[in-house]
Structure 1
């Protein structure tokens, strides 16, 4: 397909028009059925058009869609209670996307630095990780040290330094008295599926505590059950000071959120941040329904139970095609096939689509598999069978 004549060309031309979704399947305008292991880039966490989610949206849309944060929103208050119950004592702030959540975290870091130093503009640096992706707004781009993200938009927002993920010495050298916060993804998504190791997160927690810096974790892509835990960092036993989330939280309706631990939540006061649409009645109905489904259908437990066998099948695939596949990385239903020839991920993504499997490229040489949390062992196995057929016809 060519670009639509009235759409700006900031995306490549689409492969097809998506018109319908049901469970783990997406359908085009010719009614072709695709096994959707992209999930709208880790968004449709409970699958497409889940009946309970649809019913909640219908009911809320017919009742109240928007009123702004000038008024209390009971569904928002309920959602905040639920997220605090999962993250720990603290407070939540709602927005519309992962990029907005990360912007709010960067603002939190600056407020924290001002409080520590007693003046504005003295302690505001954020230490992020090389290969990170935190969004395409100016704060998010500043924290994303990739030419393909920053190119054409300089000068960047100042105040960012970058350490090597899983190298505590690297962060140790960077976290000085100019630093307000350390900000990393629990599992780097766009950068190529690099998990932060438990030992590294534990050492980073100790380092931040020692030096007075906030530990802020970006769970936008890896959170809300995708890793086999509600938050991916839970496997490490670490307690961060703040968490960013979005994507799977609304299961298809835009919503983002940050959770901030006590006492740092008090850094935001009336007037210090706001959003017209954030935490609207409709968005919170979507998120509350999503959490209801995850809990009632025990989807996180299913991800934890089903993923080891699926990962083992993918490892066997890597062993079968050693000249093409270097291995796999990730956790739960967030897996990257690491390919050897650079750029092969784009042709594998296209070949998979031809065989009616939707996957998403990442980094320079990774294919991401991001099935909905409802994906069954049979559907997971089917994805491996399709990939096997593709690699069998791919030359190194």
Structure 2
């Protein structure tokens, strides 16, 4: 059996492999004969890399290149084991070596993880000092770029990764989703499907990419795929799929979101405040009573309010202009005067409840609260002057 792959230097195989496969080189293409049940895959185009054992012990996701059914057969994994958690990498040099990040690379990856949580651009400085090819380091850099919203920089790292190894799919698809790289997302997803190595993390990455692009059909297809493969879809999968509805321009996006929400409940998953926030956004063009029904549902679930949900509800319920954000009290008040006093009063009651619940209101909510009080005070004065 042969697997044809681009490049000539590094391949992966399962631990059950008793001996290294023999290469038949042909220019830029190498054919690797499979000596055992484990499939072999090329993973790099460079010889200038560390040559030690590469283990998947770090909390960063690792490349997953061996078909699930092969690993389960050779390693005796359970039906729900994640693909790609166990593998070796063999280097085609004068002797067979096993790739692992050096201690310096492990340290650098840990520094990137820390820098990725700080909004000071420090992660770029950290990765700028590195010229190697460790998937551990470059995956950490991609993750930092994703967290910091530096999607273009993350994409450049992805371009570097994909030429030396099958990329870390979950993070890669999330990055590509932020940049609207539809064709590349489908290419990666196609690779996963072909190799039968889709797990919950990979599905999450694909649904997140669909959510960023408002692709309801893609999100639903992934959920159905998980069901077909008997892989349990969790709360985050459904919440992200509902977010795809919220970002979609489809006329029936509210109905699609509601169907997903109902399906989520049907399989026994309990929505959290983030799920309700996504559902609320999907219902943005629905009648106000439906929004109030959702608010009542959140209360009945005894969920804790947060500032994101509060801002989302106020902007949607009070019909904030589609373009721009309310930044001045007088501008907001001018808009609120066009609404019924009953709706403004309802919004006030919601804000008062947030305050009683000690929810920290962000700047937008505070401005809206001030505008509401101003409009209601004006209304009371007018009513007092009336006969």
> TM-score per shorter chain, which class?
under 0.3
For normalisation by structure 2, the TM-score amounts to 0.27
Pair member with larger Rg: 2
Greater per-residue helix proportion: 2
Bigger strand fraction: 1
